[in-house]
């Protein structure tokens, strides 16, 4: 029983340390195989909180069709976001190998980057209407910055190449979700719901222009 309790307790302690911006926690989790599943759980839970925050903003804004948006944005959006997150890590691995000639340990990267996803949980606060988009944006920016620290701790490198790897990976994640978030099918979490609304409005305006022309 003690063996099952330890990872939960250590996970909580790791998250507490991250809340104080103690990035040395990445040194601990990257070398601890027991942190693999907790890291993936943190990434999944945090992404889910971002998705729920976006959905709550949608509901409180009176935009309608809440059950359908929940399925598309929260359930499917979280799943797609996680797949693209793994693609982000793959891009990091490839860029680090290609430009820094460094073989980043995949399992260490997953563990460190998983815990670096914790700030995404702040996205649940998107339910606060006046600050919804800003909160979602802050959560994502904090995530990217912590992921940068995680890459540097895992690779032992700092500066240009890790930044390039992180930026390239993030671009894959962000562009992928942007392509998924359409006016008819908002299959993306959090702030990307706003993009789906914009797509719907511009499509409607275009249709009206064509009809009127």
- The 10s digit of each residue's pLDDT in 95-136 is 999 999 999 999 999 999 999 999 999 999 999 878 888 999
Q: How far is CA 207 from the centre of its chain?
A: 34
Q: Using CA atoms, how far apart are residues 1 and 108, in angstroms rounded to an integer? A: 26
Among residues of the chain, what percentage have pLDDT more than 90? Answer: 67
The lowest-confidence range among 122-126, 127-131, 175-179, 202-206 is: 202-206
What's the average model confidence in pLDDT over 42-58?
94
For the ranges 9-13, 70-74, 85-89, 190-194, the one whose mean pLDDT is highest? 85-89
Segments making up each domain of the chain, as ranges: 23-212
* Range with lowest mean pLDDT among 25-39, 100-114, 140-154, 173-187: 173-187
> In terms of Cα–Cα distance, which of 38, 102, 112, 47 is closest to 77?
47
Residue 62 backbone zone (phi > 0: left; psi -120 to 50: alpha; other: beta): left
Residue 20's φ and ψ, nearest 5 degrees, are -95, 10
Reading phi first (left if > 0) and then psi (alpha if -120 to 50, else beta), residue 190 is in left
Is the pLDDT at 3 greater than 60, yes or no?
no
* pLDDT number for residue 183: 67
């Amino acid at each position: 029983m003690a063996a099952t309790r330890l990872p939960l307790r250590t996970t909580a302690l790791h998250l507490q340390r991250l809340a104080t911006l103690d990035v040395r926690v990445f040194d601990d989790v990257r070398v601890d195989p027991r942190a693999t599943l907790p890291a993936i759980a943190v990434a999944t839970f945090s992404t889910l909180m971002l998705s729920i925050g976006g959905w709550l903003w949608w509901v409180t804004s009176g935009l309608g069709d809440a059950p359908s948006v929940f399925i598309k944005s929260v359930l499917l959006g979280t799943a797609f976001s996680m797949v693209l997150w793994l693609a982000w890590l793959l891009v990091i691995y490839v860029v680090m190998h290609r430009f820094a000639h460094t073989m980043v340990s995949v399992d260490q990267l997953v563990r460190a980057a998983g815990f670096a996803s914790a700030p995404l949980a702040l996205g649940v606060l998107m339910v606060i209407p006046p600050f919804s988009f800003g909160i979602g944006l802050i959560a994502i920016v904090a995530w990217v910055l912590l992921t940068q620290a995680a890459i540097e701790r895992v690779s032992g490198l700092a500066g240009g190449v890790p930044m390039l790897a992180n930026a390239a990976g993030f671009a894959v994640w962000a562009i992928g979700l942007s392509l998924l978030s359409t006016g008819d099918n908002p299959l993306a979490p959090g702030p990307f719901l706003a993009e789906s609304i914009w797509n719907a409005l511009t499509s409607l305006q275009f249709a009206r222009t064509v009809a009127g022309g």
